[in-house]
């Protein structure tokens, strides 16, 4: 009975304050979309880092079937060439610069490739023998990349030596800056949302002061009096958060999935499903913000 009563109070409150409720929904929608955009950029950075990025700095790619580099005149790297490289890596001259190294076979490479590009159509057209085997090196000092590069580039069986960080770091710094901007905009919008929710709840409490006055007099508990107002704000904010989650999903699905992944088939993009892990966080954030701001407002404007 009390629950039904509270629900009907919420309904009448939302109806009476419709324009304010719509503005709360829109403001939380926009602010949480920016929060979510920052989150998506970070997810995208993680996606592009792939399996090796945080573990190693330098990759020595071995010759494959179609390699055309100077060291690959003899075709695919032979087991002996692999052993020679391994010996060289373990030799004191090189070992002093590196922490450790791992060998990634063509099958391993295929496995990691499939994980990273799981959202891209390219994954179906790639077979293990198209991917080069490699040594992945974790440097003691990443700045010493040149030494490794010079030592191994000319070795037989080596196609190329790449410092993955140098390739991706610049892109990541741009993306990090973008997500910082998104967070700042989100912060300003969240302040707007909090103030707007507070104003809305104040208006709602004012327009229903007759009811709340009677409720106090007949001995309704604080919960019964305040909960409808708090839930009004929370419901509006949660609708906004749901819209924001939907927008992020749509961006991942239509923009990244349909458009960007065709324009840049060699880049790993996040999947729409991955953006959905942001949704619970956005919903919780929206509900918490609305709950706290309406609670504080009620403490000032609704005597119980």
State how far the Cα of 124 lies from the Cα of 62, in Å rounded to an integer. Answer: 23
* Residue 210 touching another protein (CB under 8 A): yes
For the record, the structure tokens of 53 come out as 């990025």
Under the binding rule (CB under 8 A), the answer on residue 213 touching another protein is yes
Do 248 and 238 contact (CB within 8 A), yes or no?
no
Q: Which residues ranging from 15 to 54 are in contact with another protein (CB under 8 A)? A: none
220 binds another protein (CB under 8 A): yes
Residue 211, interface with another protein (CB under 8 A)?
A: yes
Question: Which window, 57-65, 160-168, 219-227, 285-293, contacts another protein (CB under 8 A)?
Answer: 219-227
Closest CA relative to residue 304, chosen from 235, 218, 194: 218
Q: Is 216 in the site for another protein (CB under 8 A)?
A: yes
Among 45-53, 57-65, 101-109, 212-220, the segment contacting another protein (CB under 8 A): 212-220
| String marking each residue 222-261 x if it binds another protein according to CB under 8 A | x-xx------------------------------------
CB 26 within 8 A of CB 240: yes
Strand stretches in the chain, DSSP E: 58-62, 98-104, 134-139, 158-163
Stretch that binds another protein, among 32-40, 46-54, 130-138, 218-226 (CB under 8 A): 218-226
Count of C-beta atoms within a 10 Å radius of residue 242:
18
Q: Which of 77, 134, 84, 129 is nearest to 105 (CA)?
A: 134
Listed in sequence order, the DSSP H helices in 208-260 are 209-217, 222-250
Stretch that binds another protein, among 54-62, 69-77, 210-218, 231-239 (CB under 8 A): 210-218
**What residues make contact with another protein under the rule CB under 8 A?**
1-2, 5, 210-211, 213-222, 224-225
């Amino acid at each position: 009975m009390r629950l039904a009563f509270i629900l009907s109070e919420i309904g009448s409150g939302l109806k009476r304050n419709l324009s304010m409720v719509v503005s709360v929904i829109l403001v939380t929608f926009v602010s949480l979309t920016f929060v979510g955009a920052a989150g998506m950029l970070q997810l995208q950075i993680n996606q592009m880092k792939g399996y090796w990025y945080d573990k190693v700095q330098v990759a020595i790619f071995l010759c494959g079937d179609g390699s055309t580099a100077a060291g690959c005149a003899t075709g695919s790297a032979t087991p002996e060439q692999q052993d020679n490289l391994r010996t060289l890596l373990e030799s004191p001259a090189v070992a002093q610069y590196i922490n450790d190294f791992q060998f990634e076979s063509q099958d391993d490479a295929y496995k990691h490739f499939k994980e990273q590009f799981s959202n891209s159509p390219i994954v179906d057209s790639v077979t293990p023998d198209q991917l080069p085997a490699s040594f992945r090196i974790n440097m003691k000092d990443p700045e010493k990349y040149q030494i490794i590069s010079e030592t191994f580039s000319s070795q037989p069986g080596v196609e190329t030596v790449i410092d993955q960080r140098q390739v991706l770091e610049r892109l990541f710094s741009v993306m990090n800056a973008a997500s910082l901007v998104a967070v700042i905009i989100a912060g300003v919008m969240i302040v707007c949302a909090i103030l707007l929710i507070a104003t809305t709840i104040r208006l709602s409490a004012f327009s229903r002061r007759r009811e709340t006055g009677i409720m106090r007099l007949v001995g309704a508990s604080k919960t019964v009096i305040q909960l409808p107002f708090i839930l009004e704000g929370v419901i509006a904010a949660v609708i906004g958060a749901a819209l924001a989650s939907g927008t992020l999903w749509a961006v991942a699905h239509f923009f990244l999935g349909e458009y960007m992944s065709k324009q840049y088939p060699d880049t790993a993009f996040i999947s729409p499903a991955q953006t959905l892990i942001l949704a619970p966080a956005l919903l919780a954030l929206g509900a918490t913000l609305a709950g706290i701001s309406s609670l504080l407002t009620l403490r000032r404007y609704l005597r119980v």
